[in-house]
Amino acid sequence: MNMIRNLTFTKLVILATAGSIFVLGGAFIFQALGYAPCKLCLWQRWPHAAAIVFGGAALASQKRILAWLGAASAATTSATGVYHSGVERALWEGPTTCSGSSNIGSMSADDLLNSIMTAPLVRCDEIPWRVSDMIPLEILDITMANLNALGSAVFAILWIMAVRKAD
């Protein structure tokens, strides 16, 4: 723990930025392997992209505000990952545009047809991949959204630590 506390602003920004690069790169690799992203998966990608931009700018300028923006980006994708995790586990309903929570009975025929024609191919309330798919331990029932929520929370902490180290 002391090792992390002794890191400089630059090293903390590099770690947090590298984390977002790793997560975003991993998402694209999974997509290339055939795991198409759902709407909530895509929502989780944008803050990582922003954090990468803020990281590059923070490294170039050493500005504290950019580290705060990186922290906000990481916290945003973490919160979205928590929301997505809850949708996957049926703890709450997700957006009607990518989950099964639609009130079909109150829709007109035209609205129903439009809903069917514009429906996404990938549902947000289904889990396409779990860690336990690779490591057969039931305790590892961790999804990509779970990993993003946890990892991005760590990245937000690294960003905040960088803010505290800024001049």
For a pLDDT cut of 90, what percent of the chain falls above it?
Answer: 62
The CA dihedral of 41, 42, 47, 49, to the nearest 10 degrees, is 120
Give, rounded to a whole angstrom, the gap between the first and last alpha carbons of the chain. 22
Phi/psi for 86 (5° steps) reads: -65, -35
Asked if residue 151 has pLDDT above 60, the reply is: yes
Cα–Cα distance measured from residue 167 to residue 158, given in angstroms and rounded to the nearest whole number: 16
Report pTM: 0.82
Kindly report, residue by residue over 5-34, the tens digit of the pLDDT: 789 999 999 999 999 999 999 999 999 999
Quote the pLDDT of residue 119: 55
**H helices of the chain, where?**
2-5, 9-32, 39-61, 64-88, 109-117, 144-165
In whole numbers, what is the pLDDT of the chain averaged over residues? 88
Q: What is the mean pLDDT of residues 73-97?
A: 93
Q: Which domain holds residue 154?
A: 2-165
Q: Quote the Cα angle for 119-123-124, to 5°.
A: 125
Asked if residue 91 has pLDDT above 80, the reply is: yes
Phi/psi for 143 (5° steps) reads: -100, 175
Number of domains present in the structure of the chain = 1
Looking from the CA of 29 toward its CB, the CA atoms found within 13 Å total 7
Per-residue pLDDT band at 95 (split at 50, 70, 90): confident
Higher local confidence (pLDDT), 89 or 74: 74
Quote the pLDDT of residue 43: 96
Higher local confidence (pLDDT), 126 or 46: 46
